[in-house]
Amino acid sequence: MVKLFFIVAWRNLCREKLITAIQLAGLAIGIACFILIRQYVAHEQSYNLSFSQAENIYRLDLIRDQNRPQALTPLRLGDELTQNFDDILASTRISRSRVTVKHQQGVYSQRVQFVDSNYFEFFDFDFIEGDPLTAMSGPSSLVLPEEAAIKYFASDTGIIGKTLTVNGVEFQVTGVVKKPAFAHTMAETMLLPGERFNEFALANPDWADSWTFNATVTFVKLARGAQAASLQANISDYYQQRAAGLSSYKSYWLNLEGLTKLHLYTDTSRTLIPQGSGVMVTAFSIIAVMILLLACVNFTNLATAAAMRRGKDVGVRKSLGASKLQLVVQYLSEAVLQTTLAGLLALVLVWGALPYFNQLMDVNLSFEFSAVLLVELLLLTSIVGVVAGLYPAFYLSSLSPALVLKGVVNSSPVGVMLRQGLIVFQFAIAALLLVASLGVNWQMSYIQNMPQGYDREGVIVINGGADIYNTFKNQLLRNPDVAAVTMSHTVPTKATRTSNVVRRADNVNDEIQVGSNPVSYDFFTTYGIQILAGRDFSRDFSNDAYRENERDWKSSTGSIIINETLATALGWGAEQAVGKMLTLGGGDDGLHNHQVIAVVEDSHYISVKTAVPAMIYVLSGEPQELSLRWLSVRFKGAADASLLGELEQTWLSLSPDQAFTYDWITAEFSSLYRNESRQSQLLNVFTLIAVVVTAIGLFGLAAFNTRRRVKEIAIRKILGAGTAQLCFMLVNQFSVLVVLANVLVLPLAYWLLRDWLNGFIYRIDMPYSAFVLSTLFSLLVAYVTVMVIAYRAANATPVDALQYE
Amino acid sequence: MIKLQKIAKSFIGDEIETVAIDGMDLTIDKGEFLSILGPSGCGKSTLLNVLGMLDTVNSGEFHFLEHQVATLGEAQRAKLRKQHLGFIFQNFNLIDELTVEQNIELPLYYQKVAKSERKARVEAVLKRVDISHRRHHLPAKLSGGQQQRVAIARAIITEPDLILADEPTGNLDSNNSAQVMALLQQLNREGATIVMVTHAPEHVSYGTRAIELLDGKIISDQSISDQRITAELQEVSCG
């Protein structure tokens, strides 16, 4: 009996090859998408879960005034809190910097992290060799990740005790960390002892004890049962008391962010690795379910349509004594059989698509065939099969045998309504995704193409080089391909680190918080930042350089260039501002006045998701004076490898121990939007898939409907209908549904898009054309899809159709 | 009106070639009511399809009015069909979703006849076939005889030069059959040329001429003038 049942099911699948193929393909695509996205979501949600004490570990995030939380905190914070709060059992710090590593003949510029000796008590990574508990305890300890071990020693074992020279100091390898197979938010870099940070990275040793110099990421381990909320208030209070008045910020707050929440559910700047987006993960989960639903709808739709053909089957079975339940079970099992086939096909699709998906999302998901996966898949396909097969099964089993045997069974009004409703539903989802992806793409391209207030083409930026700057610059300027060279504290695409408070000298009570960028000569020329009024810093004016006099604040010197936003905030036009006096200082520092010599256009330092802050530029007479960190070079035309090679030679001739590494500002700029670009790409892919799945379903249904009307088409043809007339008739039945779907979904799409766009300061207007385009595009898809079928039907010889009767 | 010369038509199946019309010559004049008789598979329906330009021939010449049909493309044949031909089928071939009135109106719609004229002509034809009272019904609600009257109405509404009827009474009881045949005879007397395929020899007497086919060839061709011939024909075509 079971065998017979499978034979019947199989023959049914084979009898309608096209419809079966369509049903299976659509469903397989849907299931494959669902599996892929589910894997991705699980991966995104798994960050830090593998650390054994993850539940008790928190990161301290610092909020200054109304600013976005930042992960960087004072170096002394962790110890202070551990000593003064019983609920905080331990703390560990991670500070980042770039160092020069010498090994044998090579000189490498390398990002490293300086960590406390208890780092591995917090983050239990597996070691290939070495002891995690003691690895970071000595002042010359060095722990390498697997990749770095291979890079320097061509092996990840047997290297304990070998040495590397970092910034001229010799370090001994004490451990090699195995590349973790799990997701986490720690950067996998070379690790150096925390105490070396002060020596290598702090220009002023006093900063290590400062309450306002934020340079390290602090993690704390809380006692079991500690109340994070009340503790947060207490430590914030503690910190506020110590930091108040030391800088221009008025209020401070410390957030305790749980380790497992860091990746998706925080919006913190200066983190060790870029965060994921919880919103996007949720959005993609919804999209995954939507695509799966679309595929189920296809399946149901085609199954109910095909059910009409099986009316006779029902009649015969019922007249032979089959009960309604038996029939329901039979048709449902057939549906589950089909979805299981689709599930297997989906596995093949996932297997094939995974490399592309990994590339697209920059993740490393692997596809391992396991019993769990198989059970999950079986469960999923069974559910899909039952859900999708339910209506056809009940519809079929409730047919009256007397009527179906006479051939009276035909499209029931409910069935037709259901199928049309499902088509509307599908096109509504497709239209929603179309509008969303159009809106998102346009907004993304708008913010990436809008004027940034500087010219990013043809500029490279090099980290460090203050000590050789003057000579290096002179030599470079002799090269005809170099247009300008400068040095600055920060550069566009990187955040401003320092802040200040300015006031009009004639109104010192009105304070304005500003970002500050100390620069060398030629900064504005190098970055193509327009001077709107006034003049650039110049060697012709000896008092341009900014020098604070801590003994007599009033005699501090230096000219100031401000940006347009600040000029406006101060109540001046560009021309008006030039020559005015600004008062800086405050807190522990005395007040000092400086003259505005120019107003420059607003430049976006970080992505345009934030507004341009009020900015001042001050001149660092020599690069060391105001600790300038980035050396920038503008080329006249395209720079080729040989030109960059010349630069490197020049650099190494001046500073043989310092690696020459550079980044193009254009690349840095793109990386600011990497997450957004990736997500809009993913949205595009899913939109395309949704449209394809919808089109597949429509194709199947159109094929079915058309075949049902084959006789009618033949009659009409004999009566004189032309091919175009017939095609139009066949296509037209769907266009009303497509338009209806679009109209129904517009309010939701409008509402979602408006909300999303409101999250941007610089944004496009509500793109109404996206709604029109989506409608036109779905109509086009529907027309092309149905036309393929319609054209074939309309061109068939009418006699065949009539003989088919 | 119609002249077939050495017409041949065969169907090529998976392995065998079936000859349906085998080098046939046939001339049909205007005003004739020609009945085509013969056993199943003798080529009657194929001949009708060829005459109706629904099917193409393999070889031979087919003159319809001044046109050499065999050389025409599908679009031109469709045009000729639309202008000159009317069809009546054994299974009526009405469109289930359209009412009686809409079914009858359809050919005029495809000929782009103005709406007011369409209404007037539908009105006249409805009366003619005596189905006015069921004009708003769907075909499924009608009896077989009524459905066939609707089909005839649809065939004659364009005032075609030639009406092709494929076993018009095949699905009807004797009472309804007689009514349909009488209607066709009346149309013929009013000037319509009719070619009818039939299995029922008793209906031959409504026409003016009868041919008998066997294996794709005409084996007899008689004009209907006396009862004796009709009786003979009745005997052979019962098989």
- Give A-chain residues touching B96 at CB under 8 angstroms: 712
Distance from CA of B31 to the nearest CA of A (A): 22
pLDDT tens, per residue, chain B with 239 residues: 899 999 888 887 666 778 888 888 999 999 999 999 988 878 888 888 889 888 888 889 999 988 888 888 877 888 888 888 888 888 888 888 788 998 999 888 888 889 999 999 999 999 988 889 999 998 888 888 899 889 989 988 988 889 999 888 888 888 888 888 998 998 898 888 999 998 888 888 899 999 999 888 899 998 886 544 555 555 544 43
Distance CA A419, CA A424 (A): 9
The whole-number pLDDT of residue A804 equals: 43
Give the pLDDT of residue A805: 40
Residue numbers in B near A718 (CB within 8 A): 52, 54, 81, 87
Share of chain A above pLDDT 90, in %: 41
Q: Where are the domains of chain A?
A: 1-47+277-410, 54-262, 429-451+671-805, 465-657
- Higher pLDDT: B186 or A2? It is B186
Q: What pLDDT, on a 0 to 100 scale, did the predictor assign at position A509? A: 84
Residue B154 near chain A (CB below 8 Å): yes
Helical H segments across A217-370, by residue range: 228-243, 278-307, 311-319, 324-361
Is the CB of B171 inside 8 Å of chain A's CB atoms? Answer: no
Cα–Cα distances (Å) from A194 to A117, A137, A160, A199, A215, in that order, read 8, 10, 20, 10, 12
What pLDDT is recorded for position B228? 46
- In terms of C-beta density within 10 A (0-12 exposed, 13-18 middle, 19 or more buried), how is residue A165 classed? middle
Q: Is B76 on the interface with A (CB under 8 A)?
A: no
Give the CA radius of gyration of chain B.
18
Q: Please give the helix or strand (H or E) that residue A596 lies within, else none.
A: strand A592-600
Q: What is the mean pLDDT of residues A227-251?
A: 89
* Residues in chain A within 8 Å Cβ distance of B81: 718, 720
3 state SS of A177:
strand
Helices (H), ranges, A86-145: 119-122
In contact, A451 and A421? CB cutoff 8 Å: no
CA–CA min distance B109, chain A (Å): 9
Tell me which chain A residue has its CA closest to the CA of residue B107: A719
Dump pLDDT digits (tens) for A39-94: 888 888 999 999 999 999 999 999 988 888 999 999 999 999 999 999 999 999 99
Task: Supply the pLDDT for residue B239.
Answer: 35
Q: Are A712 and B96 an interchain contact pair (Cβ–Cβ within 8 Å)?
A: yes
- Chain B residues lying within 8 Å of A804, measured CB to CB: none
A332-362 core/surface letters (b: 16 or more CB in 10 A; e: else): bbbbbbbbbbbbebbbebbeebbeebbeebe
Q: How confident is the model at residue A632 (pLDDT cuts 50, 70, 90)?
A: very high
CA nearest to A497, candidates A667, A247, A277, A237: A247
pLDDT at A626 over 90: no
The per-residue pLDDT for A525 is 95
**Helix, strand and coil in chain A, % to nearest 5:** 50, 20, 30
Contact (CB<8Å) A716/B110:
yes
Give mean pLDDT, residues A721-727.
Answer: 82
Tell me what pLDDT residue B14 has: 64
Instruction: Check CB contact under 8 Å for B49 and A799.
Output: yes
Best CA proximity match to A440, nearest among A25, A72, A749: A749
Separation in Å, CA of B111 to nearest CA in chain A: 7
Name the least confident of A434-438, A588-592, A641-645, B198-202. Answer: A588-592
Selecting from A711, A722, A795 the residue whose C-beta is nearest the C-beta of B93 gives A711
- Report the residue of B40, B48, B54, B106 to disrupt the A interface, i.e. the one with the largest count of A CBs within 10 Å: B54
Residues A533 and A563 sit within 8 Å (Cβ to Cβ): no
Q: Do A720 and B81 touch (CB under 8 A)?
A: yes
Residue A345 has pLDDT above 80, yes or no: yes
> Which residues from chain B sit within 8 angstroms of residue A725, using beta carbons?
110
The tokens for A755 are: 């909300």
Q: Which of A224-228, A322-326, A529-533 has the lowest mean pLDDT?
A: A322-326
Chain A: give the shortest CA distance to residue B228, in Å.
Answer: 35
B91 and chain A: CB distance < 8 Å anywhere? yes
Q: Does B90 touch chain A (CB under 8 A)?
A: no
Average pLDDT value over all residues in chain A: 87
Q: What is the pLDDT of residues A259-303, one digit of tens each?
A: 999 998 888 888 888 888 888 888 888 888 888 888 888 887 777
Measure the CA–CA gap between B231 and B213, rounded to whole angstroms. Answer: 17
* Among candidates A795, A797, A802 on the partner chain, residue whose Cβ is nearest the Cβ of B93: A802
- A798: number of Cβ within 10 Å: 25
Global ipTM: 0.76
CB atoms B78 and A802 under 8 Å? no
Q: A802 vs B110: CB contact, 8 Å cut-off?
A: no
Q: Is the pLDDT of residue A406 over 70?
A: no
Other beta carbons less than 10 A from residue A611's beta carbon? 11
Give chain A positions within 8 Å (CB) of B82.
719-720
**pLDDT number for residue B237:** 46
Minimum-distance CB partner of A797 among B55, B81, B97: B55
Residue-wise pLDDT for A481-533, tens only, equals 999 999 999 999 887 667 788 999 888 888 888 989 999 999 999 999 999 99
Closest chain A CA to residue B140: A408
pLDDT of residue A4: 67
Interface test with A, best of B40, B44, B51, B93 (most A CBs within 10 A): B93
How many C-beta neighbours within 10 Å does residue A515 have?
Answer: 20
CB spacing of B87 vs A718 below 8 angstroms: yes
Is-contact A785 A698, C-beta < 8 A?
Answer: yes
Please give the domain boundaries of chain B with CATH numbers for all domains: 31-56+71-236 (3.40.50.300)
- Lowest-confidence segment of A211-225, A786-800, B204-218, B221-235 by average pLDDT: B221-235
A805 interfacial to chain B (CB closer than 8 Å):
yes
pLDDT at A801: 62
Q: How near does any CA of chain A get to the CA of B68, in Å?
A: 19
Closest CB to A712: pick one of B89, B95, B107.
B95
Higher pLDDT, A312 or A346: A346
How would residue A538 be classed by pLDDT, with cut points 50, 70 and 90? Answer: very high
Residue-wise pLDDT tens digits, A118-139: 999 999 999 999 999 999 999 9
